[in-house]
Amino acid sequence: MLKIGSHVSFSDKGLLTATAEANSYGSSSFMIYTGAPQNTRRKPMESMFLEEGKAAMKESGIEEIVVHAPYIVNLGSYKVNTYELAVSFLQEEIRRTHAIGVKNIVLHPGAYTDKDPAYGIDRIAEGLNEVLGGTEETEVKIALETMAGKGTEMGRSFEEIASIIDKVKYNDRLSICLDTCHIHDAGYDIVNDLDGVLEKFDSLIGLDRLSVVHINDSKNPIGAAKDRHTPLGTGWIGFEAIRNVVHHEKLQGRPFILETPWIGKDPKTQRPMYEIEIALLRGDVEARFGQGFIEQVEELGSFFTKEGIDSRQFVLDTWTLLKNDAKAKKADPREPMERLYDMVVAAELLPDCSEEQVNQRIIAWLSGASLSS
């Protein structure tokens, strides 16, 4: 079975709440933080309903989940306090990951800030040796995430990641998290040459190290080094390319995790598109949403066709306009999804649907996928 899910919250009743949220999206895997990703405050694991959560996972058929390390960890820092905090806090996160029963914790490798890439590679490798050497009682692996190349962050190329791995004594406990948005923004052409990208990854790092795949579309063209996620089918990568990643024969068996942003007019009522994204990738939209959903997507398609809108071209043209024309962006900063949503509302289509439901149907139309089973 395809292991696919999304990032979910890990609060209130901990793993039990997280599993319930994942189930609401139709997930067969999911990713959590063991606390807020922006700070070091953590609740005791004893209060995280671990046994109840594991029982709920078993009942739902969810076998493998992933933990993500907090963003504040920077093993590449030359500042002693920052570096030492990163080492000690990451060790504690590994122990918490072990307590949950998870085998991979995803980590942004780190940033070299005021130094240079060579320093960053050496410093991160030094930190990984300390972290892994101090957690030998666990079997948890650190999954180094491929990065987009924003600022001074490391891991923006397969070569950089390979160099870090080569310098780590305990590299049998290093794995890789491949992020589609990040490698696209870093310049890897997964749209037109996925096989070539995977072959390069295999030759430099080894596909046997790949343990997790983050599946996100990108708001920016290839090589932009920006790292700005967008729902599947609404960005420069497109749904078809993401689907090719998820179903590629060389990537099967890994958990595929959505980190696409929540969308909506009001930040207080924004909702994720995880449920429809998962159904589209799994190919069970009709079973999940029903025939009426498909008929409404077809209605949207007829409307947009009459308006002269080609789904893929509209998305790319809108992003190009927002990127290249400052005056146009200032006059109308709406992104592709919001523009399409406004058209649907103005035409008084789908009047009985909530904002979330309209957006789900737009995502389905943008995918271009066959929706009937």
User: What's 125's domain CATH number?
Assistant: 3.20.20.150
Task: Give the domain extent around 140.
Answer: 4-282
Half-sphere exposure of 247 (CA within 13 A, CB side): 11
CA angle, 5 as apex, 194 and 237 as ends, to 5°? 30
Q: Which residues are annotated as a binding site?
A: 68, 108, 145, 179, 182, 214, 227, 229, 259
Q: Which of 243, 258, 282 is the last residue of a domain?
A: 282
* pLDDT for res 268: 87
Is 127 domain-assigned?
yes
Q: Which of 282, 316, 351 is the last residue of a domain?
A: 282
Strand 141-145 relative to strand 217-218, pairing? unpaired
pLDDT of residue 89 exceeding 90, the answer is yes
Average pLDDT of 208-216? 98
- Asked if 108 and 71 touch (Cβ cutoff 8 Å), the reply is yes
Residues 275, 292: one domain?
no
Per-residue confidence band for 18, with pLDDT thresholds at 50, 70 and 90: very high
Quote the CA–CA distance of 312 and 366 in Å, as a whole number.
7
Range list of H helices, 167-289? 180-185, 194-204, 239-246, 274-282, 285-289
Average pLDDT of 238-249? 98
Q: To the nearest whole percent, how much of the chain has pLDDT over 90?
A: 93
* pLDDT for res 39: 85
Per-residue confidence band for 12, with pLDDT thresholds at 50, 70 and 90: confident
Q: What is the full DSSP assignment across 5-31?
A: EEE----TTTHHHHHHHHHHTT-SEEE
Structure tokens given for 265? 């007019």
Quote the CA–CA distance of 2 and 255 in Å, as a whole number.
8
Quote the CA–CA distance of 82 and 62 in Å, as a whole number.
36
Residues in contact with 342: Cβ distance below 8 Å, sequence separation at least 6, in sequence order: 334
pLDDT of residue 1 exceeding 80, the answer is no
Q: Which of 282, 303, 334 is the last residue of a domain?
A: 282
Q: To the nearest whole percent, how much of the chain has pLDDT over 70?
A: 100
137-155 pLDDT per residue, tens: 999 999 999 999 999 999 9
252-287 pLDDT per residue, tens: 999 999 999 999 998 888 999 999 999 999 999 999
User: How crowded is residue 103: how many other Cβ atoms within 10 Å of its Cβ?
Assistant: 18
Q: Which residues are annotated as a binding site for Zn(2+)?
A: 68, 108, 145, 179, 182, 214, 227, 229, 259
* pLDDT for res 37: 82
* pLDDT for res 13: 83
Residues 276, 306: one domain?
no
Residues 273, 303: one domain?
no
Residues 267, 310: one domain?
no
pLDDT of residue 158 exceeding 90, the answer is yes
Range list of H helices, 77-178? 80-100, 117-133, 158-166
Residues 292, 273: one domain?
no
Residues 260, 302: one domain?
no
3-state secondary structure of 310: coil
Is 290 domain-assigned?
yes
pLDDT of residue 373 exceeding 80, the answer is no
Is 372 domain-assigned?
no
Average pLDDT of 29-57? 92
Residues 58, 206: one domain?
yes
Residues 146, 276: one domain?
yes
pLDDT of residue 225 exceeding 80, the answer is yes
- Asked if 73 and 86 touch (Cβ cutoff 8 Å), the reply is yes
pLDDT of residue 11 exceeding 80, the answer is no
pLDDT of residue 35 exceeding 90, the answer is no
Quote the CA–CA distance of 342 and 123 in Å, as a whole number.
49
Residues 133, 55: one domain?
yes
3-state secondary structure of 39: coil
- Asked if 197 and 233 touch (Cβ cutoff 8 Å), the reply is no
Query: Domain tally for the chain?
Result: 2
Residues 237, 324: one domain?
no
Per-residue confidence band for 372, with pLDDT thresholds at 50, 70 and 90: confident
For the purposes of burial, counting CB atoms within 10 Å of the CB of 115, is it exposed (0-12), middle (13-18) or buried (19 or more)? Answer: middle
Is 326 domain-assigned?
yes
3-state secondary structure of 41: coil
Residues 112, 138: one domain?
yes
- The mean predicted confidence, pLDDT, of the chain is 96
Is 373 domain-assigned?
no
180-206 pLDDT per residue, tens: 999 999 999 999 999 999 999 999 999
* pLDDT for res 2: 93
Residues 204, 335: one domain?
no
